[in-house]
Amino acid sequence: MTLLNVENLRVHYPTRTGLIEAVRGVSFTLGRERLGIVGESGSGKSQTGRAIMGLTPPSALITADRMDYAGIDLLRASDRQRRALRGGRIAMVLQDPKYSLDPVMTIGRQIAETLRTHSRVSASEARNRALDMLEAVQIRDPARVYDLYPHEVSGGMGQRAMIAMMLIAGPEMLIADEPTSALDVTVQLEVLSILDRLVRERGMGLIFISHDLRLVSSFCDRVLVMYAGRVVEEIAAGDLDRAQHPYTRGLIDCVPKIGEDRHPLPVLDRKPEWAK
């Protein structure tokens, strides 16, 4: 079943010096699967995620032949409809919990607030469900963490709290924009396995945005590789070794790996025709 349909999405920013074309004609569909979007900074991967979420600043021009989510036309949805979707049926996890959590509100209250915004539950039930959710993201002492402020927890714990907040309203689709890039490698894997388990158990669709091709391919079913606002290659994660596009190959090759002796490292030789 298709959750999300995107055809020919374009995100443009008019500026004094001309039009910046951040996303230039991206098309894909998402079912109940894990889709990775990979690219370097400036490739348009985050802009794609934000456009779907409705978080693009008002100055941007968004056009698409089609962009709908479970039958709702996102291009024509009212702000009110959008608000109901956001955090309710579509959720988003951002890169750094230091900036995406409210610094002056306890973690538990933030999570409970999300739930109460999207469904009619009593304060005590919201509290109980928030505690359950904290437990589901493997926080050992939920009652203690509930009353902590974001600055009192580590990055890994903050990101788990963020995931708990995003999943408490029971979304059908989750957009994760570099959810682990600010975390240590060892913590990264814990957070990913929590995310993986929850997405699988709940049968959600996931869009995983990252610059780390290897990480994405080990986590997702399918990967879109973006360059200069376009999708240059779509590939099943298992077939990454057989990637065709020179940009994808370049991205794989330029990363130093343990036990390899390649001096100097191959670098990307960017061809202007890739951007066409």
Question: Of the candidates 155, 233, 245, 274, which one interacts with other proteins according to CB under 8 A?
Answer: 155
Beta carbon nearer to other proteins, 113 or 190: 190
User: Does residue 95 touch other proteins according to CB under 8 A?
Assistant: no
User: Does residue 135 touch other proteins according to CB under 8 A?
Assistant: no
User: Does residue 213 touch other proteins according to CB under 8 A?
Assistant: yes
Question: Of the candidates 124, 186, 272, 276, which one interacts with other proteins according to CB under 8 A?
Answer: 186
CB of 204 to other proteins, least distance (A): 16
Beta carbon nearer to other proteins, 54 or 246: 246
User: Does residue 268 touch other proteins according to CB under 8 A?
Assistant: yes
User: Does residue 264 touch other proteins according to CB under 8 A?
Assistant: yes
Question: Of the candidates 1, 104, 123, 185, which one interacts with other proteins according to CB under 8 A?
Answer: 185
Beta carbon nearer to other proteins, 85 or 195: 195
Task: State the SS3 of the chain.
Answer: CCCEEEEEEEEEEEECCEEEEEEEEEEEEECCCEEEEECCCCCCHHHHHHHHHCCCCCCCEEECCEEEECCEECCCCCHHHHHHHECCCEEEECCCHHHHCCCCCCHHHHHHHHHHHHCCCCHHHHHHHHHHHHHHCCCCCHHHHHCCCHHHCCHHHHHHHHHHHHHCCCCCEEEEECCCCCCCHHHHHHHHHHHHHHHHHHCCEEEEEECCHHHHHHHCCEEEEEECCEEEEEEEHHHHHHCCCHHHHHHHHCCCCCCCCCCCCCCCCCCHHHHC
User: Does residue 120 touch other proteins according to CB under 8 A?
Assistant: no
